Each structure stands twice: as structure tokens, then as C-alpha cells.
């Protein structure tokens, strides 16, 4: 094969960062609009998750895939105030995972058991499926209406990408292909990302058969391609093989927690006056850690008493 230099301008979606270290999501369409295609580079985001949660390798891979997959689902949220919570409850050693997407491209999450023993499918390939095991994937989408939309499916394999694909097939009746990958090297995340291909209504069977064949064939791991220096745009082009692919836009994504002292205070108040009085007995005060970013908030005895007084005055 001839080693041609990659045409960087052809493979760049409008808005894509010039810096190869930055994470982003790219939106594309192909086959005359019959296919919607998204791809993500999430290396930095997965590194952030590892730094915050100090996860063991198989937990790092599982959480990284879960955060990336959640961003694909959240891409169809419309308003900036819309939120999406994805949750897995499972019997495998990881016990479960939660991810919250809020605002465009922001995700935060955690795994219930961050330190678990690693299992491998083959050398270098972590066995995420057995670390997750059997379970349920639930997706809660809050559009600011009275009731949030809730959907759930049983896990297919615990490999995450297949589970999200199944969810999309059941809940949205949209044939989809999702691929997710997190590569660990030297005890950190070296490459992470994924892609989502969706067939729009009205697509002919021939196109669906073609895409199924691409998905079922030996298409390389997304992390292998990222490691080779391919951009998310280039990976979509390679998978789809449509010379008329149109890159619509790209936008930044990242790990973002929006916790604050105010929010923690409001959580405390929901415990009720009696509980707050009991907690205020502790001379050291109360220490609360955020599940998502591990930041700790300390409330002194005096503050706890003030919060309890606030409730008794209002009641």
C-alpha cells in the first residue's frame, strides 16, 4: 500500500480543534442523508475520570466507554438545561456505573466499585464484559417537562457499546452501530473514543446490509486507529466508505462536574431537621465528598446548627 500523507483539511469538520490532544465530537452525514454518523475522541476525558476516581484498569476501561457512549446518546438532547442520566446496575464486580450529561458535551460519572481485579480476554485486551456482568441499563432524559423520560434494557454483553446499541434499537427503533474503546498504556489512558452510525428511516435494505457487513467484518478497534493518528473524522470516513460524506460540525466535550457548596447545602437540608441536629453533634463537623469529582465540602458544627435552625424556622 502506498503511504500517502493524510489530507488534514479534507478530514476536518468545521469547529474541530487543531490540537490533537483535545477531545471533541464530530457530526457527519453520508449516503445522501440516509446515515447519521458521530465520532468522539475522549482520551483526555477518560484520563480525567481515572485521575479523579483512581480506578483499576478494567474499571477505567468500563467507565471510559460508558462516559463516551453516554455522550453519544446525549447528543440528541436539545436545550442547554436538558439532562441525561445513564445508569448500569450489574452483578459483576464493578456493581454499577452512573453518568450524567448536562449542557452540550459535558459529562461526569463514577463506577460503584472503582478497584476490581483485572481480567483479560487476550493479552492487552481487558475483559470489560465480565467485570460488568449481567444487569440493566437505564436512561433517564429530563427535558424540563413534568415527567422525565425513562427507558431501560437488559445488558447484552456488558461490553457497553453493544448494550447502548441494543438500547437504541429498542427505545428509538433506530438501527445503529456503536463502537467504543479505551486503551491503557503505562498505567494511563493513551487513547479513547468511539463512533455511532445510525440509519435514518427510509434507507434501503441494501444500505443496511452494507453497514451490517462493515460492522460485522474485521473493522479495527477504534483505539488502534486513534493510536495510528487517525482523527474521528477519518475513522468515520474509513468505516462508511462514502466519498460524499459531509462533516457538519465538531464541538468540544469534556469531564465536567458542577457541584458546589450551595448544592451540597441543599442536599443536607433534604435530610430534615432531626438528622441535621444529630450530625451537628460531631465536633469535627460534617465532611461530604462529591461522587463525581471527589471534591470534599466541610460543614462545621455551627453551620450544621444554622441549617437545622433554618428548617425549624421555616416549618
- Binding interface with Zn ion (CB under 5 A): 257, 259, 290, 292-293, 295
CB of 292 to Zn ion, least distance (A): 5
Residue number, 213 or 289, with CB nearest to Zn ion: 289
In three-state secondary structure terms, 217 is: coil
Residue 110 Cβ, how far from Zn ion at the closest point, in Å? 10
Residue 194 near residue 161, CB atoms below 8 Å? yes
Q: Which is nearer to Zn ion, 83 or 231 (CB)?
A: 83
Read off φ and ψ for residue 120, nearest 5 degrees: -120, 140
* Residues 306, 307, 308, 312, Cα dihedral to 10°: 90
Q: Which secondary structure element, helix H or strand E, spans residue 85, and what is its range? A: strand 83-90
- Rounded Cα distance between 191 and 194, Å, is 10
Decide whether 12 or 256 has the Cβ nearer to Zn ion: 256
Considering the complex, state which of residue 100 and residue 259 has its C-beta at the smaller distance from Zn ion: 259
Which is closer to Zn ion, CB of 63 or CB of 290? 290
Closest CA to 106 of 257, 259, 291, 250: 257
Q: Which helix (H) or strand (E) holds 66?
A: helix 57-74
CB of 297 to Zn ion, least distance (A): 9
Shortest Cβ 151–Zn ion spacing (Å): 26
Q: How far is the CB of 77 from Zn ion (least distance, A)?
A: 20
Closest CA to 67 of 49, 79, 91: 49
Amino acid at each position: 500500500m502506498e503511504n500517502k500523507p493524510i489530507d488534514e483539511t479534507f478530514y476536518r469538520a468545521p469547529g474541530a480543534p487543531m490540537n490533537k490532544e483535545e477531545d471533541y465530537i464530530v457530526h457527519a452525514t453520508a449516503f445522501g442523508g440516509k446515515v447519521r454518523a458521530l465520532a468522539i475522541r475522549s482520551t483526555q476525558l477518560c484520563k480525567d475520570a481515572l485521575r479523579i476516581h483512581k480506578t483499576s484498569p478494567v474499571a477505567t476501561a468500563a467507565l471510559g466507554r460508558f462516559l463516551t457512549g453516554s455522550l453519544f446518546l446525549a447528543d440528541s438532547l436539545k436545550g442547554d438545561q436538558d439532562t441525561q442520566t445513564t445508569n448500569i446496575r450489574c452483578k459483576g464486580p464493578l456493581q454499577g456505573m452512573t453518568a450524567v450529561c448536562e449542557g452540550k458535551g459535558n459529562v461526569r460519572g463514577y463506577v460503584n466499585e472503582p478497584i476490581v481485579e483485572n481480567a483479560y480476554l487476550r493479552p492487552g485486551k481487558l475483559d470489560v464484559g465480565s467485570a460488568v456482568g449481567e444487569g440493566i441499563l437505564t436512561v433517564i432524559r429530563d427535558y424540563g417537562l413534568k415527567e422525565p423520560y425513562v427507558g431501560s434494557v437488559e445488558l447484552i454483553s456488558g461490553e457497553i457499546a453493544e448494550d447502548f446499541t441494543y438500547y437504541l434499537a429498542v427505545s428509538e427503533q433506530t438501527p445503529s452501530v456503536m463502537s467504543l474503546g479505551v486503551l491503557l498504556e503505562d498505567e494511563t489512558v493513551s487513547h479513547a473514543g468511539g463512533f455511532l452510525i445510525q440509519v435514518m428511516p427510509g434507507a434501503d435494505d441494501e444500505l443496511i446490509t452494507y453497514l451490517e457487513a462493515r460492522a460485522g467484518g474485521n473493522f479495527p478497534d477504534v483505539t488502534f486507529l486513534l493510536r495510528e493518528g487517525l482523527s474521528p473524522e477519518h475513522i468515520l470516513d474509513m468505516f462508511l466508505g462514502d466519498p460524499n460524506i459531509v462533516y457538519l460540525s465538531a464541538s468540544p466535550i469534556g469531564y465536567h462536574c458542577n457541584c458546589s457548596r450551595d448544592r451540597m447545602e441543599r442536599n443536607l437540608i433534604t435530610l430534615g431537621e432531626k438528622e441535621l441536629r444529630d450530625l451537628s453533634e460531631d465536633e469535627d463537623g460534617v465532611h461530604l465528598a462529591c461522587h463525581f469529582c471527589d471534591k470534599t465540602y466541610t460543614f462545621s458544627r455551627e453551620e450544621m446548627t444554622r441549617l437545622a435552625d433554618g428548617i425549624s424556622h421555616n416549618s
